[in-house]
Amino acid sequence: MAMPDLLAHALLAYAICTVLSVRYDWLTPAYVTAGMAGAFIPDVMKIVLIVPDAAMEAILGVPFSWSGIHTAGGALVAVLIGAAVVVPAERRRIGALLGVGAASHLLADALLLTPSGYSYGVLWPALRVHPPTPGLYLSTQPGPTVVAGAAALLAWGYVRRGWLR
Amino acid sequence: MLRSPRARLLAVLVLLCALFGLVVWHGTLEPAPEAGSFPGTEELAADYDAYLGERVTVGGRVVETDPVVVTAEYGVDESIRLTVVGLDPSVAVKEGATLRVFGVVKPDRTIRSSNAFTVPTSGLWYTWTVSALAGLWTLARIVRRFRLDREQWGLVPRERSVSLRAIVRRGRGTSGGDGDA
């Protein structure tokens, strides 16, 4: 499964979280950064390129699929781990932002073009279904990154520099 | 709830076990075409004939263009050669490109394509380079905007961000005092 490059994901998370900071005073650039970090969570599954599923199964003797991380369930557990890694007072905010970042990644990937017209088990394990995808782009196309970059730039300009206000 | 470093460490370990459980569970999932989850290379490699007439999604590097043959990878460094027929003429098949196909399994390791597209090889390099840049950018932001609270064993947002240069200087032990007021 290919996916929009991680820069597109990070820029998208940056844009979303920066815009959210208009609504939430406490959402400083540090918290925006937490949102960006969350956007990387689902792609932890890319470890599969170094240690394939079959290799893990051979070593561990159990079924194994790294792409389980690239689902709502896997991302949720990973977000909870991230929340446990920050000091307790910051847990809820950082956890929420990691979740926003991870969710934006999963959603953006669900719009990728696939040969079958269906995406992946984005809502697993809650739902088994692979929803149909509008097939908007390929991960290897620069288009999504350019759009995400423009959104990030506009968000930065509006929120941090007061453009258009 | 769960405030002490030890309790949090335990929570992380429990969560890692949960993550492991999810990943193992995900490994047991069988294809479910009615749910939009189609069999792929791995299933074909295990028992090709069981999928005759079924729709599958495969992808592989183009090694021949007339007829179109791809090497589809699975497992650990294993691959099968599949012939792809019925491609739409608009699909630009070039040797070395990655072809992704959704189609029907035919005898003799042949897939009749319903829908397919190519991904140029350079596209994959682009994705990797740009993704690495994104990682570095985010890492730099984390280092500049968070600090490690040694008492609570956790990351804390800084009051004010620190420049990368200051962090490097601090790491080399050449700067005195605490930079993040």
Indicate whether A59 belongs to any domain: yes
Q: Is the ipTM of this complex over 0.95?
A: no
Query: Residue B163's pLDDT band (boundaries 50, 70, 90)?
Result: confident
For residue A51, is pLDDT > 80? yes
Q: How many H helices and E strands in chain B?
A: 4, 7
Determine the average pLDDT of the residues in A124-134: 97
Ramachandran assignment for A138, one of left (phi > 0), alpha (psi -120 to 50 degrees), beta (any other): beta
- Determine the structural domain holding residue A113 and report its residue range: 3-160
Q: Which residues of B4-41 are buried (b: 16+ CB within 10 A; e: fewer)?
A: eeeebeebbeebeebbeebbbbbbebebeeeebbbbbb
Can you give the pLDDT at residue B181?
Answer: 39
Q: Residue A52 is nearest to which of B11, B26, B76, comparing CB atoms?
A: B76
The rounded percent of chain B whose pLDDT value lies above 90 is 73
Q: Quick check: A113 and A135 in contact, CB under 8 A?
A: yes
Determine the average pLDDT of the residues in A58-66: 97
- DSSP for A52-93? -HHHHHHHHSS---GGGGSSHHHHHHHHHHHHHHB-GGGHHH
Indicate whether A40 belongs to any domain: yes
Q: Residue A69 is nearest to which of B23, B38, B74, comparing CB atoms?
A: B23
Alpha-carbon span B113 to B124, nearest angstrom: 23
Indicate whether A21 belongs to any domain: yes
- Beta-carbon contacts below 8 Å between A and B: 176
Q: Quick check: A84 and A108 in contact, CB under 8 A?
A: no
Indicate whether A83 belongs to any domain: yes
Indicate whether A66 belongs to any domain: yes
How many domains would you assign to chain A? 1
Pure H helices in chain B: 5-28, 41-46, 121-145, 164-172
- DSSP for B107-125? TTTEEEEEEEEEE-HHHHH
Q: What is the largest CA-CA distance in chain B?
A: 74
Indicate whether A165 belongs to any domain: no
Query: Residue B131's pLDDT band (boundaries 50, 70, 90)?
Result: confident
Query: Alpha carbon A42 to chain centroid distance?
Result: 6
Closest chain A C-alpha to B176 CA, distance in angstroms: 24
CB atoms within 10 A of CB A113: 19
Query: Residue B166's pLDDT band (boundaries 50, 70, 90)?
Result: confident
Whole-model pTM over 0.80: yes
Determine the average pLDDT of the residues in A121-139: 96
Can you give the pLDDT at residue B180?
Answer: 47
- Chain A residues 31-90 with CB within 8 Å of chain B: 31, 33, 36-37, 40, 43, 52-55, 57-58, 62-69, 71, 73-74, 77-78, 80-81, 84-88, 90
Determine the average pLDDT of the residues in B130-140: 93
Indicate whether A7 belongs to any domain: yes
Indicate whether A46 belongs to any domain: yes
